[in-house]
């Protein structure tokens, strides 16, 4: 009990004792995935703070992009940016270089991301490749293009991960039909069609998740402006707990205990459901 209280006090103390922030003056930031979610909210917040913001949107005429143009100052520039497309990445770089003027590019936030929930045999090959294109190849293309500008300013790059936002807010029933239609016959035979529709083991899984995204936005801002930014920011109960359990539990206990926190969905093939 004493150890638990001490650890809790230490964690709270670390959170409260924040490192001083650098001035915003003449700093610019480019953010990918600003159509909605974290990217959209971060773009608005940084604009309010006085940054020059380059907001990369998958649809530069879409609702999210138009909202940014309407809400934010003329220091925010919406860019057409599909991070999978090298030509659009090059175009974004040229636009940033042209509009920087006497500002310096201080930050790159690789926020764009997608996630589909399903067994690796269920998810179609095209969708699996799309996940890798957006979540891996996209940050690579952005970093390799913009690092020279960041190097000149000694700026920051941020790559968020492990969160549930709009990146998984897709029509799961429609996607299940699509994957079923594209699945090999042997996978259809083993899994059965009902297995393709995602089933949550927790009846109130969405209610367990926080709707307040401000801690994540504040962590990104701290990463951009802190005089001593952390290499990793953990926000939320699972984000803190899972790494701790992984590193400190003995091997025989690690997977069973972590499984309690992460085993949210049922992907068991129908051919195994009656097997003891």
Taking only the tens place, the pLDDT of each residue in 186-217 is: 788 878 877 777 766 665 555 566 778 899 99
Model confidence at 12: pLDDT above 50 = no
Model confidence at 98: pLDDT above 80 = yes
The mean pLDDT of 220-224, rounded to a whole number, is: 94
Express as a percent the part of the chain with pLDDT over 90: 45
The mean-pLDDT minimum among 41-45, 49-53, 212-216, 239-243 falls in 239-243
Q: What is the mean pLDDT of the chain?
A: 83
Highest averaged pLDDT of the listed ranges 126-130, 157-161, 201-205, 230-234:
126-130
Instruction: Name which of 46, 178, 45, 164 is nearest 113 in CA terms.
Output: 164
Task: State residue 47 phi and psi, 5-degree precision.
Answer: -65, -40
246 vs 64: which has the higher pLDDT:
64
pLDDT tens-place string over residues 116-151: 877 778 888 898 899 999 999 999 999 999 999 999
Instruction: Record the pTM.
Output: 0.79
DSSP one-letter string for 15-64: HHSPPPBPP-TTEEEEES--SSHHHHHHHHHHHHHT-EEEEEESSTTSHH
What is the distance between the alpha carbons of residues 267 and 122, in angstroms, rounded to a whole number? 9
What is the distance between the alpha carbons of residues 113 and 32, in angstroms, rounded to a whole number? 9
Model confidence at 270: pLDDT above 80 = no
133 vs 170: which has the higher pLDDT:
133
227 vs 175: which has the higher pLDDT:
227
The mean pLDDT of 265-270, rounded to a whole number, is: 68
Instruction: Supply the pLDDT for residue 175.
Output: 76
What is the distance between the alpha carbons of residues 104 and 33, in angstroms, rounded to a whole number? 21
User: Domains along the chain?
Assistant: 23-272 (3.40.50.720)
Instruction: Supply the pLDDT for residue 29.
Output: 98
Using a 10 angstrom Cβ sphere, with 0-12 exposed, 13-18 middle and 19 or more buried, the burial of residue 173 is exposed
Model confidence at 15: pLDDT above 60 = no
pLDDT bucket at 6, cuts 50 / 70 / 90: very low
84 vs 5: which has the higher pLDDT:
84
Instruction: Supply the pLDDT for residue 274.
Output: 58
Instruction: Supply the pLDDT for residue 205.
Output: 55
């Amino acid at each position: 009990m004493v150890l638990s209280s001490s650890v809790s006090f230490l964690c709270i103390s670390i959170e409260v004792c924040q490192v001083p922030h650098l001035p915003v003056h003449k700093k610019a930031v480019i953010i990918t995935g600003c159509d909605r979610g974290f990217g959209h909210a971060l773009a608005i917040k940084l604009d309010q703070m006085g940054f020059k913001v380059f907001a990369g949107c998958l649809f530069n005429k879409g609702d999210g992009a138009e909202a940014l143009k309407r809400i934010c100052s003329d220091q925010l520039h919406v860019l057409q940016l599909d991070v999978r497309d090298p030509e659009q990445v090059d175009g974004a770089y040229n636009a940033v270089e042209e509009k920087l003027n006497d500002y310096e590019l201080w930050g790159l936030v690789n926020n764009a991301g997608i996630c589909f929930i399903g067994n690796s045999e269920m998810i179609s090959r095209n969708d699996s490749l799309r996940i890798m294109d957006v979540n891996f190849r996209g940050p690579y293309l952005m970093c390799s293009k913009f690092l020279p500008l960041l190097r000149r300013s000694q700026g920051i790059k941020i790559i968020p991960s492990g969160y549930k936002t709009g990146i998984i807010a897709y029509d799961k029933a429609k996607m299940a039909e699509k994957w079923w239609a594209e699945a090999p016959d042997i996978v259809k035979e083993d899994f059965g069609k009902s297995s393709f529709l995602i089933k949550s083991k927790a009846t109130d899984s969405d209610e367990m998740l926080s709707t307040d995204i401000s801690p994540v936005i504040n962590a990104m801002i701290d990463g951009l402006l802190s005089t001593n930014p952390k290499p990793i920011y953990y926000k939320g109960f699972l984000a803190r707990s899972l790494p701790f359990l992984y590193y400190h539990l003995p091997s025989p206990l690690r997977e069973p205990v972590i499984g309690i926190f992460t085993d949210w969905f049922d992907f068991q093939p129908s051919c195994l459901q009656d097997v003891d």
